Structure 1
Amino acid sequence: MIPDTLSPGQYDTVYNFLSLVIAAQLFTAVFLLISLPRILPRYRAAITVAIVVCGIAAYHYFRIFDSFKAAFVTEAAGGQGDYAQAAGVGFNEGYRYVDWLLTVPLLLVELIAVLALARSVQTRLLRGLVPAAALMIILGYPGEISGDNGVRGLFGLLSTIPFLYILYVLFVQLSKSLDRQPASVRATLGRLRYLLLLSWGVYPIAYLLPLLNIAGSDAWVYKQVGYSVADILAKAVYALIIFQVARMKSFNDDPTFAAIELSRDEEPARS
């Protein structure tokens, strides 16, 4: 539940973390866009998807940021008093779910695309992963907006089913494909799955707070901070690792390209 009031410290905490996410997503997208020519064309689809993911996230966090500022206001001079919910204005948590509905399936597309598997294998994996990711988000939303713990628990359980399927694909089925990746990126790709698991693990913890009778303004602030940190890890940091994998695979595929790129990296040091 959204609290009726926030202390100045609580308000500033949420405000600053929302601002941090906007900056992280926006400038990660800019960096990836500028760096796109520094990988081979066959891996650019993965980075293009990463740019789209970070762009979508930046846009939705702008909307979340504006919604937060409109929902909590203070009449105290200099913002030194408590912030109360503005009459007739609510904080729109739905922006997060719209964002996740679009970006969570695309995160899996990024991973599959950078592996550059055979087209038939990619298609088979994505046909299972993308619907499962969308279903996980769709099933979680009714519980998120419900004030009934029974409803929240039911939809939380239902959304766990596609989540477990995604984990099965990532840690069982995909392991065979990782064994065929270049040795230089194999370990990084393996750890990338754990980054997804770690960052996604924040969402169910925040989701379950009301079921654990943890409520009030502190719990709500913790949830916003948790979601913000998780989104930075799952999108911006994840995208940068995907870019590094694409770059290393580009070097492995084309030694001439690698020599040109490495010489470019050494130019600033020489000057």
Structure 2
Amino acid sequence: MIPTMLTHGQYETVYNFLSLVIASQLFTAIFLLISLPRILPRYRQAITVAIIVCGIAAYHYFRIFDSFKGAFVTKSVGGTGTYSQAAGEAFNEGYRYVDWLLTVPLLLVELVAVLALARSIQRRLLVRLVPAAALMIALGYPGEISGDNGLRGLFGLLSTIPFAYILFVLFTQLSKSLKTQPAGVRGTLGRLRFLLLLSWGVYPVAYLLPLLNIEGADAWVGKQVGYSIADIVAKAVYALIIFSVAKIKSYDDDPTFREIEGSHDDVAVPAERSRSAA
């Protein structure tokens, strides 16, 4: 599906979205690292995993960004003309799969870790979810790099099996654990599963484009944009929600901690009111 030529607009679209993902992942990781002391130690494992996920994603998007710039070049002055594939260079889609192979299982670890369940329950959930997530990505890659639609369809079907199993665990087995969570975060944690499902749903749609005879530069650019948006939602936005849940649970667990840390959250409110009154 990689095109041999891109218009200036198509090139700029991919360029800017890749840059957006790098900034989103990198600065989310920095924010979470700075904010670690604002939650109780028992929830810091989840946020540490979120920092690692965003860091891995930022690194791989740097590599994707460099691969994209090296693969498409223009001879026009000022870079306003069309971009064609450079001789001996190719856009490396494999960086995405290496990223997903590492980060997708860790996203599930984040969700389980922030629940702060008994170790035996956490272990049972992770033993089910993590291998299935890794298998889902590993089975999708051979189809992604294959030019044969038959093989693409076969590996797409095979990767759907662990995906369906992950959904089964998230929406049945994990629901039992959500009942033990504080009421203030129960709904948010439940919706996180739908956020994962929504963001992950972008990937199979893009994967199936060649089977639907949707090809060309516009389709490829659309796929890159879709992957970029999905990665921002599934990693950076997801991590910020996990942090919000961890902070609420920290306040719920320790009233003294809530009194100390909660006062920082309220500092801006009186100041804003005083400005409004003036």
| 1:15-26 → structure 2 map (5 Å cutoff) | 15-26=15-26
Q: Which amino acid aligns with 2:162?
A: P
Instruction: Report the counterpart of residue 117 of structure 2 in structure 1.
Output: 117
Q: Does 1:188 align with 2:188?
A: yes
Partner residue, 2:8 = 8
Per the alignment, residue 107 of structure 1 pairs with 107
TM-score by length of 2: 0.97
Structure 2 gaps, min length 5: 272-278
How far apart, CA to CA, are the structure 1 residues paired with 2:40 and 2:168?
30
Which position in structure 1 is the counterpart of 2:43?
43
Deviation at 1:43, TM superposition (A): 0.1
Q: CA deviation at 1:262?
A: 1.2
Q: Alpha-carbon deviation of 1:266?
A: 2.3
Name the SS of the counterpart of 2:201 in structure 1.
helix
Structural mapping, 1:126-205, within 5 Å? 126-205=126-205
Kindly indicate whether residue 206 of structure 2 is the aligned counterpart of residue 213 of structure 1: no
Which sections of structure 1, spanning at least 5 residues, go unmatched?
none
**Which residue matches 1:88?**
88
TM-score, scaled relative to structure 1: 0.99
Structure 1 residues 192-240: Cα deviation after superposition (integer angstroms, max 9, x where no partner): 0000000000000000000000000000000000000000000000000
Instruction: Say if 2:253 is the partner of 1:253.
Output: yes
Equivalent residue letter for 1:104: V
Q: How does 1:41-80 map to 2 (within 5 A)?
A: 41-80=41-80
Displacement of 1:267 in angstroms is 2.8
One-letter amino acid of the counterpart of residue 208, structure 1? L
Q: Could you tell me which residue of structure 2 aligns to residue 243 of structure 1?
A: 243
**Counterpart of 1:223 in structure 2: which amino acid?**
K
Partner of 2:264: 264
Distance across 1 between alignment mates of 2:268 and 2:163:
45
Distance in 1, Cα, partners of 2:26 & 2:251? 27
Distance 1:158 1:183 in 2: 38
Give the alignment's Cα RMSD to 1 decimal: 0.7
Deviation at 1:264, TM superposition (A): 1.8
Count of aligned positions = 271
CA drift of 1:80 comes to 1.6
